[in-house]
Structure 1
């Protein structure tokens, strides 16, 4: 427990934790928007500043939130932080404009001796002051922007209309809102930063664009006014620290300027033009090098081994100069117009005698070793990982050591690289060279740099390497029991959630299958007899009390709404004995949801499986069979015809596989129609149309094979929008004539395992789901091996996986750990309509 946490534990009033914040409530402030105050702090001053601020807020009886530990402040103060919350240590919610001004003025006096980083979206109350303010929403109002596929945060304008609550890189005053202070008051009270003199070096340049934004400062492309020469301008803001020893963002950029001078005669660096300050902000100007970055490599006709050998020469030369490159990563180099590798970030180069490491690009550092120490071995390791990324045009994702099972990060990496060789994704010489580098990285003592060899030196060599099959070390039943015990220890929070989801998951219904309660309930009901578990009943009662009257995006759908909840409850209901007192609660809840779905069915505007009418109908079919319900049968018969007519019209205009995917395309609709035809009422017309679609789908797969075998995307291989969903559809038809095409596309999907995330909806677990219907044990074990290379132990000892958005904290079925466990444990499609229900 750090010093800040000790202080927080002494707070006497109403508090709760959420997403790294402690919320402190003194009053029932009913404002939904208003003036928000933010306090920033350097790490070294945080506890002192918090003590001063909390005294003022206690006196004012004013609500606030504060980061719940110093590690969270380190993250938000990081020079590499890019979120709108960067540098926000404390957020204050005044109950009035008058109180906001009073708190600002009182804190201004008490904090005048502290200098702090700037919060870009806010007005800063004095140069380097910890105090900031902006007008915005107190309670998150979220809308979904369909054109940009993102969540936007809203507030009301002066006319009561919802508008976006803009969080820009500069202070913004919404229309109709009067500032807390006039310009005269600001100049008098806060003494803003002085302007830039006309003859200042910065005025010698015209900014063309921002290439990169971060908390440290922006990177700009600019031109010299009097010559039109293109340059790069790098900027570092003052008081941005995330290191305990006081090393700052400015120190980091100064290190780059120093290294540009040291390596100025090298052909692989750029030219330092000048460096200067604007007040306390620091700038470095470099010559611009036109060229191609890592993400352009697939479009460049240069042999990958040539690029890698060029990088080997560069790293060998850096080492010969007595330096370590430290942070070797895909974004640190470009290929110039002559095909030569040029380094564009030298900020982390350091003398070999300096052992302090401050930067570590994820997946480019050996996590078996300390991330805070520079070593020769880590340079070798990073070069191996960068080179594999160049070979495969994608970074290898891995997690660190599993101490419990004595599996190292290198064990995982070597296993993945070996499979890349076996698939044919890398050559034997490339593989042997990678093992050579990884062997170098494992040597405990290296007193001198070894000049690294080229890839072609290993054409006729076999490199011995130590590795072990990761999969063989795990007992998934034990891992699953640990997971289940943890889940059943959790309480439902005030938003009807068991655990946090991602931004979109928090936006949709908390009962959703993809992101919420239904996914948890379905998983648990399959893995253990939980009919007598009081915690589950508590969840159901709590959800019913908290979630009434709320309207959510796709709120009736099977993935994101009440249809999925109905499906999960019906699975749960089957586990109850007739004399179980909780059985009636489940029955009442299912009937309530069913009636609501029937009443609101026509509000569902689309027909697809994930969001639309076909998914809703499937849940109603399940309800009908479980309760032998006559009224629901009539409803299904009527609505399936509407679905069928839509399907027939759509299959006449199909041009691509994307239109046929399971979640949002025609395969999911075809699946529901086929279920009706086999389980409820057979119609020849339905069967004929399904057969026409299946033949069309086979032809589309064959036509797309060559393209997908060259340049697929993650989604094109997924259950949601790609081939894994289509293969699953074929498997659910239980027709052996599709076996060959299923096997062929499973092999294709595995070939591109590097580009796929781990999760069920969008990643490798959806491929694994299709393998649970096949006899290809070897491929299934290989997919599990890849997934396990992306696993680690969390603080509770649970085996967790690198999930959606590189987060291992998500347990959602669709994008988190539950769906991955489900596939690894060999379970079948969650929405399979099982015949034994009859």
Structure 2
């Protein structure tokens, strides 16, 4: 427990924790928006500043939230932080404009001696003052922006209309809102920064664009006015620290300027033009190098081994100068117009005698070792990982050591690289050279820098290396039991959520299959006997999850709303015996949701499986079979005909494979129609149209094979929008004629395992789901091996996987651990309509 946590534990009023914040409530502030005050702090001053602010807010009886530990502040103060919450230590919610001004003026006097980092979205109350303010929402009002596919936060304008609550990188005053202070008051009270003199070096340049934004400062491309030459300007803001030793963002950029001077005669660096201050902000100007970055490699005709050998020469030369490169990563180099590698970020170069490491790019550092120490071994490791990324045009994802099973990060990496060699994605000489570098990175003592060899030195040479097959160490039944016990130890919150989801998951219905309760309950219904488990029953019949579908985005849908919940309730209904006291409660809930879906059906505007009418109809068919309901049968018959008419019209105009995907395209619709035709009422017209579609689908797959075998995207290989969903559709038809094309596209999808995330909806687990219908043990084991290389133990000892949001451990079925476990355990498609339902 750190000093800040000790202070927070002494707060006597109503408090609660949420997402890294402690909320402190003194009053029932009814405001939904207004003036918000933010306090920033250097790490070293945080506890003193909090003590002063907390006393003032106690006196004012004003609500606030504060980061709940110093580690959280360290993250938000990081020079590399890019989120709108950067540097926000304390957020204050005044109950009135008058109180907001009073608190600002009182804190201004009490915090005058402290200098703090700037919060970009706010007005700062004095140069480097900890106190900031902006007008915005107190309570999150979220809308979905369909054109940009993102959640936006809203507030009301002066006319009562919902508008976006803009969080910009400069202070912004919404229309119709009067500032807390006049310009005259600001000049008198806060003494803003002095104007930049006309002859200042910064005025020698015209800014063209911002290339990169971060809390440290921006990187700009600019034009030098007198020469019309392009330059790069790097900026570092004052008082931005995330290191306990006082090393700042300015120190980091100064290190780059110093290294540019040391390596100024090298052909692989750029020229330092000048460095200067604007007040306490620091700037470095460098010569601009036109060229191609890592993400352009697939579009240029230069042999990968030539690029890598060029980088080997550069790292060898840096080592010969007695330096370590430290942070070798894909974003630290470009290829100039002559095809030569040029380094563009030198801030982390350090003398070999300096052991302090401050930068560590994920997947470019060996997590088996300390990330705070510079070593030659880490340079070798990073070069291997960078080179592999160049070979495959994608970074290799991995997680750290599994201490419980004695599996190291290097074990995982070597296993993945071996698989890449075996399936022909890298050559034997490339693989041997990578093993040579990784072996060097494992040597405990290296008395001198070893000049690294080239890839072509290993064309006829084999390297001894230790290969440990990762998946053979795991017992997935044991891992699954740990996961289930953990889930059942949790409490459902008042929003019907068991664990947090990502931003979109928190926006859609909490009973969502993809992101919420239905996914949890479905998983548990197949993994645990529910008869004597009170926690599952409690979640199942909780009054908190009486969410009506039309309240939420896609709220009736099978993936995000109540028809998915109906599907899960029906799973429980068929397993609960007639003498179970919970059975009637479950039946009541089933009937309520069924009625709501029937009344809301016509309001649904789309027909697809994930969001629309076809997914809803599948759940209603399951209801109809379980309850033998005449009214639902009549409704389904009518709506299936409507769905069929839409389907026939659409297949006449299909031009691309994307239109045929399972979740949002025609394959999901075809699946539902085929279920109706086989399980309810056979119609020859339906069967003939399905055959036409299947033939069309086969032709589209064949036509797209060459392109997909060269440059697919993650989504093009997924269940949601790509080939894995289409293969699953063919498998659900139980027709052996599709076996060959299924096998071919499974191999293709695995070839591009690096570009795929791990999750069920959009990642490798959707490929694994298709393999659960096939007898391809070797390919299945390889997919699991890749997934396990991306696994780690969380603080509860649960085996968890890299998910869509790599910074978080998510358990959602669609984008988190439950769907990954489901596929690894060999389970079948959750919405498979089994004949034994009769």
Measured against the shorter chain, the TM-score band is: over 0.9
Superposition deviation, residue 467 in structure 1: 1.7
String of CA shifts for 1:764-816, please: whole Å, max 9, x gaps: 00000000000001100000000000000000000000000314410000000
Q: Which region of structure 1 is more displaced relative to structure 2, 751-760 or 806-815?
A: 806-815
Change in 2 beyond 3 A, CA 1:350/1:543: farther
Superposition deviation, residue 574 in structure 1: 2.1
Superposition deviation, residue 213 in structure 1: 0.1
String of CA shifts for 1:678-707, please: whole Å, max 9, x gaps: 000000000000000001000110111111
Q: Secondary structure at the match of 1:36?
A: strand
Q: Residues of 2 paired with 1:300 and 1:197: CA distance?
A: 45
Task: Give yes or no for the alignment of 1:424 onto 2:415.
Answer: no
Q: Residues of 2 paired with 1:287 and 1:349: CA distance?
A: 19
Residue of structure 2 equivalent to 1:508? 508
Q: Residues of 2 paired with 1:570 and 1:90: CA distance?
A: 47
Superposition deviation, residue 66 in structure 1: 0.9
Superposition deviation, residue 424 in structure 1: 0.3
Q: Residues of 2 paired with 1:157 and 1:647: CA distance?
A: 43
Q: Residues of 1 paired with 2:44 and 2:73: CA distance?
A: 11
Q: Residues of 2 paired with 1:695 and 1:335: CA distance?
A: 46
Contact 2:550 2:600 in 1 (8 A): no
Contact 1:496 1:546 in 2 (8 A): no
1:316-715 to structure 2, matched below 5 A, reads 316-542=316-542, 544=544, 547=547, 551-715=551-715
String of CA shifts for 1:308-356, please: whole Å, max 9, x gaps: 0000000000000000000000000000000000000000000000000
Q: Residues of 2 paired with 1:374 and 1:293: CA distance?
A: 26
Change in 2 beyond 3 A, CA 1:486/1:348: same
Contact 1:367 1:401 in 2 (8 A): yes
Q: Residues of 1 paired with 2:360 and 2:789: CA distance?
A: 19
Contact 1:326 1:378 in 2 (8 A): yes
Superposition deviation, residue 545 in structure 1: 6.4
Q: Residues of 2 paired with 1:17 and 1:833: CA distance?
A: 42
Superposition deviation, residue 494 in structure 1: 3.1
String of CA shifts for 1:468-508, please: whole Å, max 9, x gaps: 00000000001001111111111112332111111111111
Q: Secondary structure at the match of 1:66?
A: strand
Q: Which region of structure 1 is more displaced relative to structure 2, 95-104 or 249-258?
A: 95-104
Superposition deviation, residue 600 in structure 1: 0.5
CA-based RMSD: 1.0
Q: Residues of 2 paired with 1:494 and 1:60: CA distance?
A: 30
Q: Residues of 2 paired with 1:505 and 1:483: CA distance?
A: 21
Contact 2:541 2:586 in 1 (8 A): no
String of CA shifts for 1:492-526, please: whole Å, max 9, x gaps: 12332111111111111111000000000100111
Q: Residues of 1 paired with 2:661 and 2:129: CA distance?
A: 54
Superposition deviation, residue 542 in structure 1: 4.2
Q: Which region of structure 1 is more displaced relative to structure 2, 495-504 or 821-830?
A: 495-504
Q: Residues of 2 paired with 1:353 and 1:543: CA distance?
A: 64
Contact 2:324 2:352 in 1 (8 A): yes
Contact 1:496 1:547 in 2 (8 A): no
Superposition deviation, residue 536 in structure 1: 2.5
Change in 2 beyond 3 A, CA 1:645/1:656: same
Contact 1:471 1:784 in 2 (8 A): yes
Superposition deviation, residue 548 in structure 1: 6.3
Superposition deviation, residue 543 in structure 1: 5.1
Q: Which region of structure 1 is more displaced relative to structure 2, 293-302 or 578-587?
A: 578-587
Superposition deviation, residue 532 in structure 1: 3.0
Q: Residues of 1 paired with 2:494 and 2:188: CA distance?
A: 45
Q: Which region of structure 1 is more displaced relative to structure 2, 581-590 or 167-176?
A: 581-590
Change in 2 beyond 3 A, CA 1:575/1:10: farther
**TM-score, structure 2 length as denominator?**
0.99
Contact 2:242 2:248 in 1 (8 A): yes
Contact 1:801 1:808 in 2 (8 A): no
Contact 2:521 2:540 in 1 (8 A): no
Superposition deviation, residue 176 in structure 1: 0.2
Superposition deviation, residue 143 in structure 1: 0.8
Runs of 4+ in 1 over 6 A off after TM superposition: none
Superposition deviation, residue 2 in structure 1: 1.2
Q: Residues of 2 paired with 1:320 and 1:531: CA distance?
A: 69
Contact 1:208 1:222 in 2 (8 A): yes
Superposition deviation, residue 41 in structure 1: 0.6
Q: Secondary structure at the match of 1:610?
A: coil
Contact 2:759 2:766 in 1 (8 A): yes
Residue of structure 1 equivalent to 2:735? 735
String of CA shifts for 1:597-622, please: whole Å, max 9, x gaps: 00010010000000000000000001
Q: Secondary structure at the match of 1:506?
A: helix
Superposition deviation, residue 547 in structure 1: 4.4
Contact 2:727 2:742 in 1 (8 A): yes
Contact 1:235 1:282 in 2 (8 A): yes
Change in 2 beyond 3 A, CA 1:629/1:193: same
Contact 1:514 1:812 in 2 (8 A): yes
String of CA shifts for 1:585-643, please: whole Å, max 9, x gaps: 11111110000000010010000000000000000001111111111111100100000
Q: Residues of 2 paired with 1:543 and 1:142: CA distance?
A: 24
Contact 1:325 1:348 in 2 (8 A): yes
Q: Residues of 1 paired with 2:10 and 2:670: CA distance?
A: 59
Q: Residues of 2 paired with 1:580 and 1:807: CA distance?
A: 42
String of CA shifts for 1:416-463, please: whole Å, max 9, x gaps: 000000010000000000000000000000111000000000000000
Q: Secondary structure at the match of 1:550?
A: helix
Contact 1:141 1:155 in 2 (8 A): yes
Q: Residues of 2 paired with 1:764 and 1:643: CA distance?
A: 31
Change in 2 beyond 3 A, CA 1:161/1:493: same
Contact 2:548 2:596 in 1 (8 A): no
Q: Residues of 1 paired with 2:531 and 2:667: CA distance?
A: 34
Q: Secondary structure at the match of 2:773?
A: coil
Superposition deviation, residue 534 in structure 1: 2.2
Q: Secondary structure at the match of 2:672?
A: helix
Superposition deviation, residue 540 in structure 1: 3.8
Superposition deviation, residue 551 in structure 1: 1.1
Q: Secondary structure at the match of 2:112?
A: coil
Superposition deviation, residue 109 in structure 1: 1.0
Q: Residues of 2 paired with 1:435 and 1:459: CA distance?
A: 13
Q: Residues of 2 paired with 1:511 and 1:219: CA distance?
A: 43
Q: Residues of 2 paired with 1:837 and 1:541: CA distance?
A: 23
Superposition deviation, residue 157 in structure 1: 0.3
Q: Residues of 2 paired with 1:770 and 1:115: CA distance?
A: 58
Q: Secondary structure at the match of 1:233?
A: strand
String of CA shifts for 1:356-386, please: whole Å, max 9, x gaps: 0000000000000000000000000000000
Q: Secondary structure at the match of 2:510?
A: coil
